[in-house]
Amino acid sequence: MYTEYDYNNLPIVDIVNDMLIDASRKRASDIHFDPTPDVLNVRIRVDGELILYAKVPASVKKNLVTRIKIIAGMNITESRVPQDGAIKMQVDGSDLDLRVSTLPIVYGEKVVIRLLDYSSSLSTLDTLGFSERNLELVQKAISKPNGIILVTGATGSGKSTTVYAILQQLNTIERNIITVEDPVEMKIAGINQVQTMSEIGLDFANALRSILRQDPDIIMIGEIRDNETARIAVRASITGHLVLSTIHTNNSLTTIERLVDMDVERYLLGSALEAIISQRLCKKLCPKCREARPTTDYEKRVFKTALNMNIDYIYKPVGCESCYKGYSGRIPLQEVLILNEEIRDAIVNNEPKEEIRKLIYQNDHATSLLDDGLIKVINGLTSFEEVLRVIDIEDDLGEEQVHLKNAIIGKADVEEPNPIDMTQAKEDVEELETMDQLEIETPEYIRDVETLPTMEQEMTPVESISLETLE
Ligand SMILES: [Zn+2]
């Protein structure tokens, strides 16, 4: 990844151009220019990880930052306040949008360039890493004429990619699809995409009200962020529209909880919610250099407890010319929940969280993120460490999953006590009685203890407290 430029001879214009093009070809999502007391460090974020890309010597660092500010349309005479700008360029025949921002720090101006590559985010559903069963469930959910389908996950978990892939598939001449987004991340011909503009009052809620008068079949809401949007989304779906949206939650269960917290009526939510697709990204093992290795006892126990499978070999990252430290690209872990009658009833009846959790996973109704991840480890798509890194033990596992929690944190399971054997108990009592008869001299250090009050003496019996005393 590290690149040496001939800073003394190459024009700064060429160096900047080359850095932008190279970062894009390396599939970087961001480029950071970090001022230090001497050099300017250039780092690129690939597959979620920042990697040192270049060190720009002190002699040219000021010029390099100025060049970026010029092409981003920024004020080059101002370096004391943060600025925003944009660059549009073509790389290998496709359009590339760059969002540039500067921030004055103690050693100078830090510049971060975000690369939005529209062409690479156009994916079809079958290339998004869904297991065969999960893909079937998603296909089933999106074939429904109404209801809400939510894609959930943290920022940068690939939610938009999944939503766009679904829209892409639904995008036919027979359907009127309208979206409201902030921002429109990818333009798709045939879909009516609305960009919100809160400064002129065009927010999600306002746009949605107008969209409902535009005879829509399918509505996509970029993100459910507030109570009002959540309520409109639910109402739109029960009046015969398929509503797609994203929400910033961890898994199926936390999504249901969040929507209820957002003041969506339980009886509406119970009938409107159709499916929840939760996802998290893991680094993908490079297929060219990954190597099989035996599993440790710890890993064997996790596989056995989670999947009831004996796994003796898994793959490990190695590292070669076409990857970074054995990983190349990312793969999502997914959980697809199709709401069934039992879960709908549980939502409507305000059943406790742990009850709903049981209904979600019982009889393998939904495959948990952890199980999906472990299966992807077995299939050599990612590593064991990567899956455990993205699993949230508190949120993803239920109160009752003690064995699995213990396996993951490497704690020994406490054995269930054996049923009391009465014969043995009787013998023990007899033995104790015999011991009692023996003359054992009390050791010196115990004598003082004997003079301490016993429990009975210390505690006041409840009956003796009169009501008058309490008042
Ligand atoms: Zn490799």
pLDDT at res. 468: 47
Distance 47 CA to ligand 1 centre (A): 14
pLDDT at res. 49: 86
Distance 19 CA to ligand 1 centre (A): 23
pLDDT at res. 454: 45
Cα–Cα distance for residue pair 45/33, rounded to 1 Å: 12
Distance 283 CA to ligand 1 centre (A): 12
Q: Which two tokens stand for residue 2?
A: 């590290």
Distance 3 CA to ligand 1 centre (A): 19
Q: Which of 183, 270, 261 has its CA nearest to residue 227?
A: 261
Distance 376 CA to ligand 1 centre (A): 18
Distance 321 CA to ligand 1 centre (A): 6
Q: Which two tokens stand for residue 321?
A: 């010319």
Sign, Cα dihedral of 237, 240, 245, 249: positive
Mean per-residue pLDDT over the chain, rounded: 88
Distance 326 CA to ligand 1 centre (A): 5
Distance 232 CA to ligand 1 centre (A): 47
Q: Which two tokens stand for residue 25?
A: 């070809």
Residue ranges of the chain whose pLDDT lies below 50: 445-471
Distance 31 CA to ligand 1 centre (A): 23
pLDDT at res. 438: 53
Distance 315 CA to ligand 1 centre (A): 12
pLDDT at res. 437: 54
Distance 328 CA to ligand 1 centre (A): 7
Q: Which two tokens stand for residue 48?
A: 């979620």
Cα–Cα distance for residue pair 61/125, rounded to 1 Å: 44
pLDDT at res. 355: 94
3-state secondary structure the chain: CCCCCCCCCCCHHHHHHHHHHHHHHCCCCEEEEEECCCCEEEEEEECCEEEEEEEECHHHHHHHHHHHHHHCCCCCCCCCCCEEEEEEEEECCEEEEEEEEEEEECCEEEEEEEEECHHHHCCCHHHCCCCHHHHHHHHHHHCCCCEEEEEECCCCCCHHHHHHHHHHHHCCCCCCEEEEECCCCCCCCCCEEEECEHHHCECHHHHHHHHCCCCCCEEEECCCCCHHHHHHHHHHHHCCCEEEEEECCCCHHHHHHHHHHCCCCHHHHHHHEEEEEEEEEEEEECCCCCEEEECCHHHHHHHHHHHCCCCCEEEECCCCCCCECCEEEEEEEEEEEECCHHHHHHHHCCCCHHHHHHHHHHHHCCCCHHHHHHHHHHCCCCCHHHHHHHCCHHHHCCCCCHHHHHHHHCCCCCCCCCCCCHHHHHHHHHHHHHHHHCCCCCCHHHHHHHCCCCHHHHCCCHHHCCHHHHC
Distance 288 CA to ligand 1 centre (A): 5
Distance 469 CA to ligand 1 centre (A): 78
Distance 277 CA to ligand 1 centre (A): 30
Distance 182 CA to ligand 1 centre (A): 37
How far from 73 is each of 1, 66, 70, 87, CA to CA, in Å? 29, 11, 5, 8
How far from 471 is each of 256, 465, 467, 468, CA to CA, in Å? 46, 11, 6, 5
Distance 318 CA to ligand 1 centre (A): 7
pLDDT at res. 216: 95
Distance 82 CA to ligand 1 centre (A): 39
Distance 320 CA to ligand 1 centre (A): 4
Q: Which two tokens stand for residue 339?
A: 């709401």
pLDDT at res. 199: 85
pLDDT at res. 186: 83
* Region at 467 (left for phi over 0; alpha for psi -120 to 50; beta for the rest): alpha
Distance 285 CA to ligand 1 centre (A): 8
Distance 55 CA to ligand 1 centre (A): 25
Distance 368 CA to ligand 1 centre (A): 29
- Identify whether 35 is preceded by a cis peptide bond (ω within 30 of 0): no
Distance 382 CA to ligand 1 centre (A): 12
Distance 297 CA to ligand 1 centre (A): 27
Distance 325 CA to ligand 1 centre (A): 7
Cα–Cα distance for residue pair 456/14, rounded to 1 Å: 89
